[in-house]
Amino acid sequence: MTAPMTPTSAPVRPFTVSIPQAEIADVKQRLARTRWPDPETVGDWSQGVRVENARALVEYWERGYDWRRLASELNRFPQFLTEIDGLDIHFIHVRSKNPDAMPLLLTHGWPGSILDFLKLIGPLTDPVAYGGEAADSFDVVVPSLPGFGFSQKPTETGWNASRIASAWVELMGRLGYAKWAAQGGDWGGAVTTALGAMEPEGLVGIHLNTQFAFPAQIPDTLSPEERQAVESLALYTGGLGGSNHLQGTKPETVGFALADSPAGQAAWIYEKFQSKTDNHGLAEDALSRDDMLDAISLYWFTNSAASSGRIYWENKAASFAGPRLTLPVAVTVFPKDVPRLPRSWIEDTYSNLVHYGEADKGGHFAALEQPEILVNEIRAGLRSLRS
């Protein structure tokens, strides 16, 4: 179903990651000169990132972390730029050796990036090499959201989830795909949901590990699972929502605060990994320091604190009460996701639910935390759409 047609639109140019050594030296010098705040006055993370933990992460970034390793890993994959709607969009594109592979568009969120999916590309494009079946092969397309990573930064307003979804439709057509599927979580889930609502020609279905399925009006009577969902949403918008609120209201101020301080950028993202991963007290239980610093370094070297944060500002009217979708939808719920939605609301919102899965571990950043589980869920969720 997926033999690529001949592309018919604007050129697609190769791209290679290359960060000058002077920039790497600069960040190490800045880290060495970090002026640290006073320690928190509580014994937990309720005031934000703990100074002791941030110091350990930043000291490793300065003395032990190797950006060149990550750049080499990225450059093992075919990367490209193409101009869509006035912006250069960066993406990874890996074709399977299987001519019947299903094209799959993977969209990241914040503070994510294309790095979230690096461990998924091999198993998705070459499942046999990872113990799977050839029939589950995918061609994989992984774009960087506008203003994120190596994609160009918007210089005008209007880049909300729907506009990004329209750009993704153009991208998949430009690559020659007549039929394709899409997957996403966090903001990637919002963009993928917008794709589902648009139902563009060629989109056969979607897989979501972040679901936008809250009722527009919360019922007075709730099951225990539904009440837990309401409580988790209150936590998401309340105690865990500091960075979301600031980026949704003052993203440029956030950019000023972080653009000149790599330690500040590290703390900003580290706290998010701490609060939304499936961990036992520290983010390092779920993600390695290298995993976290890969993400942090990409934001630093691309100076994208402000431009990425604007996705919250552009979508500040959005909510977790998403549109009702009629195209095929596959869903995987991870136990430590925040917010975590009940099956009853998911089934009510997605009338053509082709797969419902519950993982036994994992949090909000499923691709980074549990890549093997997510690969298996994507395979199972989209298998029925291959005819």
* Annotation says 312 is catalytic: yes
Is residue 261 within 8 Å of 269, Cβ to Cβ?
no
186 part of the active site: yes
DSSP state of 378: H
Q: Confirm whether 270 is a catalytic residue.
A: no
Active-site residue identified among 65, 236, 299, 312: 312
Kind of pairing between the strands at 329-333 and 87-94? unpaired
Q: Is the peptide bond before 127 cis (omega within 30 degrees of 0)?
A: no
- Look up tokens 């791209």; give the residue: 15
Phi, psi of 362 (to 5 degrees): 120, 155
Please identify which of the residues 139, 186, 291, 294 carries the catalytic annotation.
Answer: 186
**CB atoms near residue 81 (< 10 Å):** 18
8-state DSSP, 160: -
What is the Cα–Cα distance from 308 to 292, expressed in whole angstroms?
17
Sheet with 353-358, edge to edge strand ranges: 13-15, 79-84, 87-94, 138-143, 102-107, 180-184, 203-208, 329-333, 353-358
CB atoms within 10 A of CB 348: 13
Catalytic amino acids? Answer: 186, 312, 364
